[in-house]
Structure 1
Amino acid sequence: MSAYLVTGGAGFIGSNFVRHVLDHTDHTVTVLDKLTYAGNRASLDGLPEGRFTFVRGDICDAALVDELVADADVVVHFAAESHNDNSLRDPSPFLQTNLIGTYTLLEAVRRHETRYHHISTDEVYGDLELDDPAKFTEQTPYNPSSPYSSTKAGSDLLVRAWVRSFGVQATISNCSNNYGPYQHVEKFIPRQITNVLDGGRPKLYGKGENVRDWIHADDHSAAVLTIIEKGTIGETYLIGANGEKNNKEVVEAILTELGQPADAYDLVTDRAGHDLRYAIDATRLRAELGWEPRYSDFAAGLADTIAWYRDHESWWRPQKAATEAAYAAQNQ
């Protein structure tokens, strides 16, 4: 049994990981989360009190971070500012959280010689052409295109430097786009689902041609746990489930699953610098560590996700009005 410290554990992917660890291991979990708009304490409701502790705080708070890391065997760093649209409106929180926050954690795990896993994104690699057969690999050069992805790239490089310069026991994973329960309604899939559930219409940037490589959050969680248990210190692993879909296909699938005409959506102004296509080659993770996704069928995973949002309106309803007002102000 190990003591896990999970930063950002009240966020979308972090809360799914916390539940996965508690369901599939005998480890204990402490969550450190600032509870910004993207963190939701309700995402952790019902977890076993004897194995789970919640601490509200900032990863940039060096004293608090040091205290928590001192009691942990493993630190898993999910906490991040992660919404591209927000990074275009105000980059400053992304610099603080994604860079200074990661530095603060790295210094703490260095002092206490604690195992560290760093959660990152495929967006650090930039984008691919729509007709390019290539996929991102661990050797793809970084080419971030937004304040969000550039600060995540910077945090990855900090981890690599702390491994090489100070011997920190760390691994990194870069994952494709996640979907599943507990995702904030500002994000693409839950926004479209909740729009339809509200009797409205989904919104597509541009023509909806942008391609994302989708993976269910449960599969991401299983992959991270596999890397922590089996991965080689100092290495990076890419996590993906061969789930490439363009945004138009995803919206049409949501509408169809909810019994609406497949073309009942609106086109809105495209995002500045909107990346065309992401695609992950997870061969190394599969071949070396033996991980395989459980949700290999995107349609089935999407149907489960739609059912979750239909059944958990009390979770997403408090976020919805403010989210749509912010999008409306941007004509999106």
Structure 2
Amino acid sequence: MQTRTYCGARPVHAERTGESGRPDLPGYEGHVERVVVLALDGVYPFELGIPNRVFGSAEGRYEVLTCTVDGRPVRSDSDFSITVEHGPEVLRTADTVVIPPFALTDLRTDLPEAVADALRSIRPDTRIVSICTGAFVLAAAGMLVGRRATTHWQLAGLFRQMFPDVDLDADVLFVDEGSLLTSAGAASGVDVCLHLVRKDHGSELANRVARSCVVPPWRDGGQAQYIEQPVPGPTATSTAATRHWALERLDEPLTLAELADHARMSLRTFARRFNDEVGMSPGRWLIQQRVVRARQLLESSDLAVDQIAGEVGFATGASLRQHLHAAIGVSPQAYRRTFQTDRRP
């Protein structure tokens, strides 16, 4: 009898395995997504545990299994090895495969035969996610040719040198290319896993998972805010208070001048400091926050599109449609149909 432990204060309960071989979890009767985590030699323990912490807190929507390419223990990049319960055969049963990062000394443009064989066993319709150096594995397997992807910003130069046929974006926390998702270093694995929960089951569940794991449900900006740069002087003022102030007034037509005035900075200083802290311009950040709020209202309310546009600060419903489509590629009506009809208890 297996058990599932939810992060945070969720109770531990026994899983019952149904005829499909998937666990029948109390309180949830829908399809349980099988997530298989492939631990490679030199794996980073922190990132290896992220999928189970996040997906394992999604109230029974996911089952997480961990495997290696041969079922044997693998060394980690720390002073211990890791023993798993499964071999590569479970990759054939996965709905989603996650490849955590591994030691930099093992980076190469070609794949060991055992790794290549394991990847070839994955079904064509399986969603594949990489964290940090896991993107090097996908690139070496030829999965990222002509696609947009990301990895840790410190490895961007090496990645471009090794895989010039991949459109690398080193400024973002993760890239969603549909069936292929790549994320940046370390904690961005949390971001991409929460993104998948949000994409699969909506913002309300993703927010509950984030609260359970004591992490933010959505991090502003991209990797630019983490790139080494001079530390601000002790008298430098943060824009954090102004961002909080703006979030409470998304329905108002906020201008850069109003934001800078609230922060008591000149326009130029505010714009520069905002970009340093958040990794994007104030205008782009405001649009992003308005789209996030609009998505929440589309999922959780019956407000008309024009009403939601007014609630989040877009001048018209047409403006909301334009920005939502630019952000996630669908119309408000299509987004609402997907998440309001698919919401589960």
TM over 0.5: no
Indicate the structure (1 or 2) with the bigger Cα radius of gyration: 2
- TM-score of the two chains, using structure 1 as the length reference: 0.36
Q: Which has the higher contact order (CA 8 A, sep 6+)?
A: 1
